[in-house]
Chains A and B, each alone.
Chain A
Amino acid sequence: MATAAHDHDHHGHIRLEYQPALPIPNGKVCLWLFLSTEIMFFAALIGAYIVLRFGAPGGTWPGVHDVHVVETLGAINTFVLICSSVTIVLALEAAKRDQTAKAKALLFLTLALGTLFLGIKAVEYKSKFDHGIYPQYPHGLVYDKADMYYLQAVRTRLQKHRADLEKELSDKPSESRSKLLRERLDVVDTLLTSYVGWTERQIATSDDAAWRFAQMDMFAFYIYPLARNTAATSYLKEDLRIVKAKLAELAPQMEASKQQIAKYQEQIESSKSKVEALQKQIDEAKKAAGENPTEQQQAAIEKLEAEQAAAAKVQTEATAAMTSANAALQAVELEWKAADGRRKLIEGDSNSPIPALRAIVEVDTSGVHPKVHGGLNEHFSWLRLPLHIPSGNMWASTYFLLTGFHALHVAVGLLVFVIVLLGRPLNRARANVVENIGLYWHFVDLVWIFLFPLLYLF
């Protein structure tokens, strides 16, 4: 081709022979060069994911159901992309055969399938966001470890709820609204005392390290249950046993100190009446003695006064003893109330605003990937308490980065489809355009072929 052009020019002292570098159109060369950089780009992302995932501290990587990944949706999206790959390759065949209407229809179908893919992707993203899993901290509720920081984050969150609810209540909202707010306040208060407060006390006072860890596991589990923490259900049994033992231990103590207080009360009453009776006697004796009492009368009065002083002393002592016994009873009652609150939280109670802890979590270990759902966050969706997912932040970063970049490529492809569809008819002359966008689209499909098993099935 180039040589023919040179034959015509008569400057021709140097006769150059041009060979195209590659036996394909320049556009295709550029696209393939671009794709070879894309191979490295996605290989880096996928490689980073594999390395981070399998290098994560042993066994911490979240299971698919722990982070609301639904394999079926991934499989449907795979199917959608494969279909779109077929439609675009058929569009190319149609364009090569000059069947412009068919090529256009097929390309439009590809566009529709790509849009469907993004739609499903959006639904998937939303399910993560709804559960507080975001790729970055300011919005994310994910904590990698269930430790003191996590516990305090839950407390802070509940206290903030409390302050917000009280503020809204003080603004005198409508009848139904204030009823709702009061119900929520009740839930928050119960959680602060019998859930957060109880766990804090257990961790602060227990000498058993394993029990402290079990308490933290359990604490995190009933907010956001993870399949790996299903052992928490057995800790709950143990916890209930301990709580019941505590209640059984405190009940006789409370009874005994109540009896003691009653005894002191009796003493106080009797000594009081004794003091009064003696006062009467003293008054009578003084009256009888008149201005100048005899020695005998004087002695009798002094004896009575001594007796009265003794009775008064008994009264004072009994009063002091009763005050301290009352304080002791109050302390025991407080302890009993805390334990009983915990019992109500575990077992459920008609007065408790929160259903039994055991009842709010459903554990299904029948399949290959155990499924666990429920928890306080799901039961009270307005709570949005911090969640404990080991390696959860790393998971979110890699998941959103990989699928995000892939979705971005899909979006760019869709944009190009629209531009091509709006252009001239897709005849044989434009088949190379269809071929190029097809190559790009197949590459996008290719990336998804690897992302699907890595993100949904591993």
Chain B
Amino acid sequence: MNETHEHSEVTHDHHGGNAKYLAVFGALIVLTAISFFLANSSVYETSPQVARAAMLAVSCAKAMLVMLFFMHLLWEANWKYVLTIPASLMSVFLVLMLVPDVGRRTEKYSLERWRHASEPVEAHHEESEPHAESEAGEEEAAH
């Protein structure tokens, strides 16, 4: 363990290296361009979910490149797993725990709650939802 540490000071040339960094830089630019064009392409128009998933995948790839090369994690000892994996798992759980109560909150909205929610425009004209009527009633009451 001690040896790897001391070596990293002296023999840094066999990892990293400016050429490698510039290659990563190029890859990051290309990946950014990919997500930019994805967002403005017909893919986004026809199936936005696919485009969004692809953009997130591109972001993950970019994040991996930055972490592995710029943050030198590729050449670090096994301690890197101790610090990064639990934190990442925690963040994934954190997001998942928000889903039932916050992410899916509108699925259980009461009529009363819908009255104060911002609604899609279509709901007014196309759906014959109870909340559309209740809003009409509200407006009549306001007069």
Residues of A within 8 A of B (CB): 1, 19-20, 22-24, 32-33, 35-37, 39-40, 42-44, 46-48, 50-52, 54-60, 71, 75, 78-79, 82-83, 85-86, 89-90, 93, 96, 144-145, 147-148, 203-204, 209-210, 212-214, 217, 228-229, 231, 367-369, 390-392, 428, 431, 435, 438-439, 442-443, 445-446, 449-450, 452-453, 456-458
- Complex: how many Å from CA A326 to CA B113? 51
Query: For A445, what are the chain B residues with a Cβ–Cβ distance below 8 Å?
Result: 66, 70
Q: Find out whether the CB atom of A40 lies under 8 angstroms from the CB atom of B91.
A: yes
Q: How far is the CB of B47 from chain A (nearest CB, A)?
A: 12
Q: Find out whether the CB atom of A57 lies under 8 angstroms from the CB atom of B35.
A: no
The residue on B at minimum CB distance from A72 is B36
Q: Find out whether the CB atom of A56 lies under 8 angstroms from the CB atom of B21.
A: no
The answer, yes or no, to whether B112 is at the interface (CB within 8 Å) is: no
The answer, yes or no, to whether B136 is at the interface (CB within 8 Å) is: yes
Q: Find out whether the CB atom of B5 lies under 8 angstroms from the CB atom of A82.
A: no
Given A57-B117, A449-B63, 20 other A-B contacts at CB below 8 A? A23-B4, A24-B76, A37-B87, A40-B90, A43-B91, A52-B103, A55-B103, A79-B29, A85-B70, A90-B18, A147-B135, A209-B136, A210-B124, A228-B121, A368-B42, A391-B118, A431-B9, A435-B72, A453-B35, A453-B58
Query: For B84, what are the chain A residues with a Cβ–Cβ distance below 8 Å?
Result: 36, 39
Query: For B98, what are the chain A residues with a Cβ–Cβ distance below 8 Å?
Result: 47-48, 51
Q: Find out whether the CB atom of B106 lies under 8 angstroms from the CB atom of A55.
A: yes
B 102-138 binary contact with A (CB < 8 Å = 1; else 0)? 1111100100001011111111110000001101101
Residues of B within 8 A of A (CB): 1-2, 4-5, 9, 12, 16-18, 21-22, 24-25, 28-29, 32, 35-36, 38-42, 44-45, 52, 55-56, 58-59, 62-63, 66-67, 69-72, 76-77, 79, 83-84, 86-88, 90-92, 94-95, 98-99, 102-106, 109, 114, 116-125, 132-133, 135-136, 138-139, 142-143
The residue on A at minimum CB distance from B90 is A40
Query: For A54, what are the chain B residues with a Cβ–Cβ distance below 8 Å?
Result: 103
Given contacts A75-B32, A229-B121, contact A449 B95 (CB under 8 A): no
Query: For B70, what are the chain A residues with a Cβ–Cβ distance below 8 Å?
Result: 85-86, 89, 438, 442, 445
- Complex: how many Å from CA A51 to CA B38? 22
Q: Find out whether the CB atom of B35 lies under 8 angstroms from the CB atom of A79.
A: no
Q: Find out whether the CB atom of A85 lies under 8 angstroms from the CB atom of B66.
A: yes
Q: Find out whether the CB atom of B1 lies under 8 angstroms from the CB atom of A23.
A: yes
Q: How far is the CB of B120 from chain A (nearest CB, A)?
A: 4
- Complex: how many Å from CA A90 to CA B22? 9
Q: How far is the CB of B136 from chain A (nearest CB, A)?
A: 4
Q: Find out whether the CB atom of B106 lies under 8 angstroms from the CB atom of A36.
A: no
Query: For B116, what are the chain A residues with a Cβ–Cβ distance below 8 Å?
Result: 145
Q: Find out whether the CB atom of B32 lies under 8 angstroms from the CB atom of A79.
A: yes
Q: Find out whether the CB atom of A148 lies under 8 angstroms from the CB atom of B139.
A: yes
- Complex: how many Å from CA A148 to CA B140? 10
Query: For B106, what are the chain A residues with a Cβ–Cβ distance below 8 Å?
Result: 55-58
Query: For A203, what are the chain B residues with a Cβ–Cβ distance below 8 Å?
Result: 139, 143
- Complex: how many Å from CA A35 to CA B72? 14
Q: Find out whether the CB atom of A217 lies under 8 angstroms from the CB atom of B124.
A: yes
Q: How far is the CB of A137 from chain B (nearest CB, A)?
A: 15
Given contacts A23-B79, A36-B87, A56-B106, contact A217 B5 (CB under 8 A): no
Q: Find out whether the CB atom of A453 lies under 8 angstroms from the CB atom of B88.
A: no
Q: Find out whether the CB atom of B94 lies under 8 angstroms from the CB atom of A43.
A: yes
Query: For B117, what are the chain A residues with a Cβ–Cβ distance below 8 Å?
Result: 57, 144-145
The residue on B at minimum CB distance from A450 is B59
Q: Find out whether the CB atom of B5 lies under 8 angstroms from the CB atom of A33.
A: no
**Interchain residue pairs with CB less than 8 A apart (10):** A43-B92, A47-B91, A57-B117, A59-B120, A89-B70, A90-B21, A147-B139, A390-B120, A392-B118, A442-B70
The residue on A at minimum CB distance from B22 is A86
Q: Find out whether the CB atom of A148 lies under 8 angstroms from the CB atom of B94.
A: no
The residue on A at minimum CB distance from B126 is A210
Query: For B104, what are the chain A residues with a Cβ–Cβ distance below 8 Å?
Result: 55
Query: For B94, what are the chain A residues with a Cβ–Cβ distance below 8 Å?
Result: 40, 43-44, 47
Query: For A37, what are the chain B residues with a Cβ–Cβ distance below 8 Å?
Result: 87
- Complex: how many Å from CA A20 to CA B62? 33
Given contacts A212-B139, A442-B71, A453-B35, contact A458 B52 (CB under 8 A): yes
Q: Find out whether the CB atom of B99 lies under 8 angstroms from the CB atom of A51.
A: yes
Q: Find out whether the CB atom of B119 lies under 8 angstroms from the CB atom of A60.
A: yes
The residue on B at minimum CB distance from A231 is B121
Partner of B120, one of A51, A55, A58, A435: A58
Q: Find out whether the CB atom of B118 lies under 8 angstroms from the CB atom of A453.
A: no
Q: Find out whether the CB atom of A82 lies under 8 angstroms from the CB atom of B28.
A: yes
Query: For B69, what are the chain A residues with a Cβ–Cβ distance below 8 Å?
Result: 89
Query: For A452, what are the chain B residues with a Cβ–Cβ distance below 8 Å?
Result: 32, 35, 59
The residue on B at minimum CB distance from A445 is B66
Query: For B5, what are the chain A residues with a Cβ–Cβ distance below 8 Å?
Result: 20, 23-24
Query: For A43, what are the chain B residues with a Cβ–Cβ distance below 8 Å?
Result: 88, 90-92, 94-95
Q: Find out whether the CB atom of B55 lies under 8 angstroms from the CB atom of A442.
A: no
The residue on A at minimum CB distance from B142 is A148
Q: Find out whether the CB atom of A439 lies under 8 angstroms from the CB atom of B91.
A: no
Query: For A148, what are the chain B residues with a Cβ–Cβ distance below 8 Å?
Result: 138-139, 142
